[in-house]
């Protein structure tokens, strides 16, 4: 199982939100590229970068900051937030992004998702952010009536190979992942050729082991790394020994 540090960008800075609440922001670095180099130096094998302003506004906002991140590291980077048209979807892979992450677009702009799959296939990741099992959109500001597991099955049939699954209630709370919800998602996708990347709530090494046992391909960790609750080299060593 891969451990992926998160770099969330708002106003050009590296921040973390609590439960996706834009009014509950903590700034961890003024330069996201410097933070990206930091995680790479500590052994990270991949980074997860999100344009928070873009997710909220429905357009790419922090393009320059993300471009600097992509140029600063040699490890694979997956990028999301505000990707709503083919021009933006094509921009980051052109700069070297390993994967592009679609959230709201996958829920509301199905044609765009299908076009992205045709162009990039294995590079497309769909982010399913759920509150009480229902998918949230527009930077988590708006809930839908769509069940996350139902949408995952549907999109897997369309050719999506990876999903980032986030339980919003656990994100940034350091109270542990929602193992039941993650288990439901892995069960929903079992045998469909699609992998789950878990996100939200991880705060100790035991949580990584629990998620690994559920069969997720990777886990995205944010606040726990930034606060020191989880030491990245120690966590990577544990996963390597497992």
The closest alpha carbon to 9, from 63, 59, 89, 83, belongs to: 63
Identify the three-state secondary structure at position 7.
strand
Closest CA to 107 of 128, 130, 125, 90: 128
51 carries an active-site annotation? no
Both structure tokens of 123: 């590079």
**Cα gap 121→60, rounded to integer Å:** 21
- Of the residues 8, 51, 88, 167, only one is catalytic, namely 8
| 64 a catalytic residue | no
Q: How far does Cα 58 stand from its chain's mean position? A: 17
What is the Cα Rg of the chain in Å?
A: 16
Active-site residue among 53, 88, 129, 171? 129
Q: How far apart are CA 61 and CA 11, in angstroms?
A: 8
* Phi then psi dihedrals of residue 198, to 5 deg: -85, 150
Query: What DSSP string describes 85-112?
Result: SHHHHHHHHHHT-SEEEESHHHHH-HHH
Residues labelled catalytic = 8, 129
């Amino acid at each position: 199982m891969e451990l992926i540090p998160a770099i969330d960008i708002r106003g050009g800075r590296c921040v973390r939100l609590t439960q996706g609440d834009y009014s509950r922001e903590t700034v961890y670095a003024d330069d996201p590229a410097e933070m990206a180099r930091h995680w790479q130096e500590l052994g990270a094998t991949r980074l997860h970068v999100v344009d928070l302003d873009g997710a909220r506004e429905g357009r790419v906002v922090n393009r320059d900051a993300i471009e600097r991140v992509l140029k600063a590291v040699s490890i694979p980077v997956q990028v999301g937030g505000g990707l709503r048209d083919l021009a933006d979807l094509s921009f980051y892979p052109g700069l070297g992004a390993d994967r592009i992450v679609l959230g709201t677009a996958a829920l509301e702009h199905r044609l765009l998702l299908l076009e992205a799959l045709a162009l990039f296939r294995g590079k497309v990741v769909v982010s399913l952010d759920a509150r009480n099992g229902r998918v949230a959109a527009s930077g988590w500001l708006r809930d839908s009536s769509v069940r996350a597991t139902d949408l995952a099955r549907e999109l897997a049939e369309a050719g999506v190979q990876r999903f980032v699954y986030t339980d919003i209630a656990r994100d940034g709370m350091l109270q542990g992942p929602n193992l039941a919800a993650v288990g439901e998602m892995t069960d929903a996708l079992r045998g469909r050729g699609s992998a789950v990347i878990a996100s939200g709530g991880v705060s100790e090494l035991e949580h990584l082991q629990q998620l690994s046992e559920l069969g997720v391909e990777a886990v995205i960790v944010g606040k726990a790394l930034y606060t020191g609750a989880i030491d990245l080299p120690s966590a990577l060593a544990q996963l390597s020994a497992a």
